[in-house]
Structures are given as C-alpha cells and as structure tokens.
Homo-oligomer: A and B are copies of this chain.
C-alpha cells in the first residue's frame, strides 16, 4: 500500500494527511486496490453505487452509452482523481455511466459508507473527509458546467474551438495534449467523428491550429 502514498497524498480526499495517518485511515476504511487492463470496466452502467474510486495509476474514462449505442464522453480521470463519489453519496440504485480503463490502470476502492459514517474506533478523520468530499463533489459540478459550456455550442467548429481554448487555458499554454483520440473527442463534443476530423483539417489548412493526433497547438487564439 505504501507505494501509492505519493498519489494518495495528492488526492484531495486525504488532504493534509501525513503518511502515518494515511496508514491508519486506509485500514479504518478497509481500502482495497484493484488492477484493470485497457478497456476493462471498474464500474458498469446500471450497477448500484457503493464505492468511491481513486485512480492510482493509469487513466480511466467516464462514459455513458444510450439505448441506440451513442456514446457520450463525460470525463477523463488521472491519478489522484475520484469517481463514483456522487452516485454513492446520493445513494442512487443504478449508476448512469460506465468507468473504463483507457490503459492499464489501478484504483483504490472504498465503501462510501465507511467514509461518511464514523467508525466504532472513534476515528477522527471522518469529519474532515466528509468536508473534503464536499469540495470534491462541488468541483465536479464545475466540470459539468464546463462541459455544458462547450457542448451547448451549436456547430462543430464552435464546440471544437471552445474546447481547445479551455484546454489551453487549463494547461497554461497554447500547445498541449488532450486525453482523447478523435472518436473520444467527438463523443465528448457530442458530434460526428468524420465531421470533427473535417473541421480539424479545415482549421489546419487555415493555419489556425496544428494538430497531430492528440497534440494540439493554437496559432490564432481569439480569446473571448
């Protein structure tokens, strides 16, 4: 377990916790670690929500697929990030998304009730963790606002530019790499892959952006 301490210390759920405390807390929470191959699901649409997951290594994607097979990309998760916490805290009986490993990856799974309910040992950390969880879930809310900001645009061009500008802002650079391939980016923007490729090609020819697979560079930012 100790080998994951570096990631866990960065995880906002365990904010301000020392290593010796972490050891104690993880035991109290009955935390366990699982490994996943690329494409494997750590959480499946329709399952009951019980666990909070923490990405330790690799990365995951939160995806929803509708009745007709249309995929919608919700988010990409990197080490230190949580998933499932909103469903577990809200007590939903069926999660509306799947969480898939986008490469070989490991997660720590914790029963959400163990976090939210004080333990018999009168463990001191629960209250702080509930507060941390509140901030994490609130931050996820902002992520949704961001996705809506992008996907509420009406054209592929506008969606793509809004997304790229947001990424550039977050990376603090006009050159950056996104965590999605073309199909996945199309699923995030809620547009057709071929149309997205066409739009990227057009912007490339116009000299507005440079795009090599997942690496983008914006030449003419029209910051709004």
Contact = CB atoms under 8 A, between A and B. Distances in A.
Interface of A: 64, 66-67, 70, 72, 74, 85-92, 96-97, 116, 127, 130-131, 133-135, 137-142, 144-149, 151-154, 190, 224
Contacts of A142: 86-87, 90, 92, 96
A90 B130 contact: no
Given A148-B64, A152-B66, A153-B70, A135 B90 contact: yes
The interface centre, meaning the residue of A131, A134, A146, A149 with most chain B CB atoms within 10 A of its CB, is A134
The interface centre, meaning the residue of A91, A137, A224 with most chain B CB atoms within 10 A of its CB, is A137
A131 B113 CA distance: 12
A133 B131 CA distance: 9
Number of copies: 2
A37 to B, nearest CB: 26
Contact of A149 (B66, B87, B148): B66
Contacts of A147: 148
Given A135-B90, A137-B138, A67 B148 contact: no
A96 B150 CA distance: 13
Nearest to A191: B154
A224 B66 CA distance: 10
The interface centre, meaning the residue of A88, A141, A142 with most chain B CB atoms within 10 A of its CB, is A141
20 contacts: A64-B152, A66-B153, A67-B224, A70-B153, A72-B149, A74-B145, A87-B138, A87-B141, A89-B134, A90-B138, A90-B142, A91-B135, A96-B145, A116-B131, A127-B127, A137-B137, A137-B141, A141-B141, A147-B148, A148-B151
Contacts of A135: 89-91
Contact of A152 (B70, B116, B131, B144): B70
Given A141-B140, A141-B141, A142-B90, A64 B149 contact: yes
Contacts of A116: 131, 134
Given A97-B145, A134-B137, A142-B92, A190 B86 contact: no
